[in-house]
Structure 1
């Protein structure tokens, strides 16, 4: 776990800002000991909107997934962090991606009884898909895919395994 992971997990906004300003850590570094979570995954789960915003503005990719396919939106939905979900949607983060079990963030919100998140995500999924379609038509580049996770998933699928591992 890097200093940035620790600061994000602890909700230490000042620490996150200092680390990013000094370029001490890559905001997209995956923590192999914690299911390949990035600092953004930690901040989203904690509901720390300001840290989420700072991380994204410093290059954190909301499309990156854990080894089980969870995006930051999955973590925010699981813990009922509506403000974080709204912020991720504002930044055109992929909030409609399925994890390795086929569950989207909206399903996580349903499982944990976060009805406000469910209502928001149902509407936001439609908007996310419409934006993705419009971007494709206009040639706008989107960062909505974790290539490394997708590649490893295909490799494991070909071998008959469903576990996703990273190098």
Structure 2
């Protein structure tokens, strides 16, 4: 009876573990983690509990899920997105920072989803500037990765701004400035990029 309740699903295919992870209920996640034989259950959108925790920025839940299922970090949803994609898309900069500090998550940094977008692409699309900065100044981030539309994360930024400017009846000029640094302590790219946009 208990097993049936713990593995029950609602109309969206979410289990109690999905719900506990989503709201950041740490004790609930611990309780369920000790009793569930399989925590790798998808909802109807293909999301695992780990994705719910990542999209809400619940670092303590992420740590607890990893403790029970260390291989969960590699799980992907129906959009072929990993947990770093989710954190970046939702603007959870503290969680992104946590992932980037841990070497075991580095394989997620440049992974593509089913549309070829990396976590940085998604952060740019959803205008999460703090997250964009975290990726941009991490030298492991490949800024030249193309998505399925043949766009880098920079292209997405330019396209979005040009569309916005066009909607307001103005033209947009931009200048790229490059900074050179050898300071490995900050993990900067040897050639970082910042953009100053001017309305002409």
Give the TM-score category using the shorter length: 0.5 to 0.7
Report how many aligned residue pairs link the two structures.
125
2:77 pairs with one of 66, 77, 85: 66
- Distance in 2, matches of 1:13 and 1:63, equals 21
CA distance in 2, matches of 1:15, 1:103: 33
Structure of greater relative contact order (alpha carbons < 8 Å, 6+ residues apart): 1
User: Aligned residue for 1:29?
Assistant: 41
Other-structure match for 2:58: 48
CA contact (8 A) 2:135 2:141 kept: no
1:104-135, Cα deviation, whole Å (9 max, x unpaired): 1111111111111112123446179xxxxxxx
Equivalent residue in structure 2 for 1:117, among 123, 127, 131: 131
1:85–1:48: structure 2 CA closer, same or farther, 3 Å change rule? same
In the superposition, the TM-score normalised over structure 2's length comes to: 0.57
- Contact 2:109/2:141 (CA < 8 Å) preserved in 1? no
Query: C-alpha displacement at 1:16, in angstroms?
Result: 0.6
Pairs within 5 Å for 1:132-151: none
Q: Answer 1 or 2: which has greater helix percent.
A: 1
Contact residue 88 and residue 119 of structure 2 kept, 8 A: yes
* Cα root mean square deviation, aligned: 2.0
Unaligned stretches of 5+ residues in structure 1: 129-167
TM-score using structure 1 length: 0.68
Mapped contact 1:95–1:125 kept (Cα < 8 A): no
Q: Provide the rounded CA distance (Å) in 2 between the counterparts of 1:91 and 1:58.
A: 19
Looking at structure 1, the residues matched to 40 and 109 of structure 2 have their Cα atoms a distance apart, in angstroms, of 18
Bigger Cα Rg: 2
Moved over 3 A (4+): none
Answer whether contact 2:47 2:76 (CA < 8 A) is retained: yes
1-side partners of 2:29 and 2:88: how far apart? 23
Unaligned runs of 5+ in 2: 1-13, 143-200
- The answer on 1:101 being equivalent to 2:111 is no
Higher strand fraction (1 or 2): 2
